[in-house]
Amino acid sequence: MTGTTLVTARERALAVLGGDPDDATLRRYLHGIPGVDAVGLEQRAAALGTRSVKTSSKAWALDRIISLIDLTTLEGADTPGKVRSLVAKAQNPDPAEPGTPRVAAVCVYGDMVPYAVEALGAAHGDPDDGGISVAAVATAFPSGRSSLDIKLADTAEAVAAGADEIDMVIDRGAFLAGRYGLVFDQIAAVKEACRRPDGTSASLKVILETGELVTYDNVRRASWLSILAGGDFIKTSTGKVQPAATLPVTLLMLEVVRDWHRLTGHKVGVKPAGGIRTSKDAIKYLVTVAETVGEEWLVPHLFRFGASSLLNDVLLQRQKLASGHYSGADYVTID
């Protein structure tokens, strides 16, 4: 999949902001957005979580969850062998059930991209067309504490190695210090670094690390900022900070995406990542997407789950739905 072009993103931001994206202009804009009532937001998320998804709806949901997963390994101990194992699982999640859908992407550190690309071979491609993408975390993931030059080099290297998607982290320190212009410029620069020689561009997911932003007002502002700066996706977390994805935070980000679409007609994706481990939880996210932005968002270029252990729980549920009884952990494969 490809990202939007930088020129249109910047032009759109200037039109919305009515001025250059410096600290003062961004502050005026971001602080002019209505606040978030935490109690009300959490109540709404809890209410969405009570939807009862059964039988045929559940079967559809389980398959859709699989096709929206970014199957992830982000460990210091990652090796080419581990990545090959992950890719094999991504292509064939349930060996006993050949009809099982593939996941959307594998998500790895930048230096692992060549191994992922190699292992995928012909399966490498756009998940909207049935392929599997390679996503790479970049920009001094997970802390983002590095110079811009290093972040850009990190990004360009991953793109050059064949990454289709870049998961960058924002500079949370700069955001919390009110240096919105700096955060904007960094996202825009990384976006530029996603460009390939042929003029196409890797898709950019912007990780807010909501666990470090803490307040819902911050999450809302960071979401707007990331979208304005040209992010194709906004993503909750690195998975390295607790709390990672929560339903209220994801709902809030979906509301921003919905409002952005109302404002500009442009669709941005959302990726909750970290902490979603069960089918039951994942179905709550599908419900929240469908009832907030609409069902058309439940496609790989507009919604993803960043997860590793979720896949096996979905496979177990899928087997249960087909056979009528629960199997067990040894009836799904480890990756």
Per-residue contact string for residues 234-263; x = within reach of another protein by CB under 8 A = ---------------------x--------
Q: Which of 7, 54, 98, 198 binds another protein (CB under 8 A)?
A: 54
In order of 130, 168, 188, the CA distances from 235 in angstroms are 23, 9, 16
Sign for the pseudo-dihedral over CA of 247, 224, 209, 81: positive
Q: Which of 192, 190, 201 is nearest to 167 (CA)?
A: 190
Helix axes 38-48, 279-292, angle to 10 degrees: 110
Q: Give catalytic status of residue 82 as yes or no.
A: no
Q: Give catalytic status of residue 330 as yes or no.
A: no
Distance of closest approach, residue 303 Cβ to another protein, in angstroms: 12
* The pair of three-digit structure tokens given for residue 311, joined into one six-digit string: 């896949």
- Measured from the CB atom, the residue of 56 and 242 that comes closer to another protein is 56
The verdict on 43 binding another protein (CB under 8 A) reads yes
Sign for the pseudo-dihedral over CA of 226, 153, 275, 332: positive
The verdict on 56 binding another protein (CB under 8 A) reads yes
CA distance 96 to 323: 12
The verdict on 143 binding another protein (CB under 8 A) reads no
Which member of 89, 151, 191, 271 is catalytic? 271
The verdict on 290 binding another protein (CB under 8 A) reads yes
The verdict on 295 binding another protein (CB under 8 A) reads yes
Q: Which of 18, 34, 76, 265 binds another protein (CB under 8 A)?
A: 34
Q: Give catalytic status of residue 271 as yes or no.
A: yes
Give alpha helix (H) positions in 131-242: 148-160, 172-176, 180-193, 210-213, 216-228
User: Which spans of this chain sit near another protein (rule: CB under 8 A)?
Assistant: 34-37, 39-41, 43-44, 50-58, 60-61, 64, 255, 286, 290-291, 295, 298
Active site residues: 167, 235, 271
